[in-house]
Structure 1
């Protein structure tokens, strides 16, 4: 994605007004991305989280601070879902980055924003923290 499209996506994510032509360019980029994406692209399910994934991935808890403090995936960092676009520089641009919330809905929004801003290595943990607790193939201590 070009720097212009990243800037447009960030402006839209931050709620800044866009000129009509810029809005059309952004809409085309989003449509192109969504047309290209497969149904399961950008997700990982708890059953896929084995030791190898935990050793290779950065987990990002996108829930609020109180939920993070109450319990999270071991080794996860905390970036609330709506802060992801503004804190994108804290996410590595290589390797696997897995975002999660309680069920996957808010982290999906954060991942979508990150992917629009050029981070193709960002995945959503489908079913979120709740699903991980219930069905994860591996849980590090």
Structure 2
């Protein structure tokens, strides 16, 4: 019998970009809130950070009728089945969980930032204060 796999699907037709998933991620993982500035867009915070692992990205545009429109999507770790971050991690901090998601042992992280450079989605984020890399651990 094969090992179980986890698949995380997001029905984008139901997403209203309320950012409830951002708040839930911070609460569940006991991550500190961020003080941000309003930059004239709904995109807030501007990017994923060491303490922001889930983000709703907003892209604003004008359609062919000159109407203002938004495209939004959830951003965060893709939990790749062939993850570049896992391949390059020399300390074994990044690993595959039994459900085949990408987990992280922060206590093993040596702060080399190899995973930060390797991830094509720019997901792992380095925190200079702790000299560790952070990302969603699902």
Q: Give the TM-score category using the shorter length.
A: under 0.3
Q: Higher strand fraction: Structure 1 or Structure 2?
A: 2
Looking at secondary structure, tell me which structure has more helix per residue.
1
Work out which of the two has the higher radius of gyration on C-alpha atoms and give 1 or 2: 2
Provide the TM-score with structure 2 as the length reference.
Answer: 0.26
Tell me the TM-score normalised to structure 1 length: 0.26
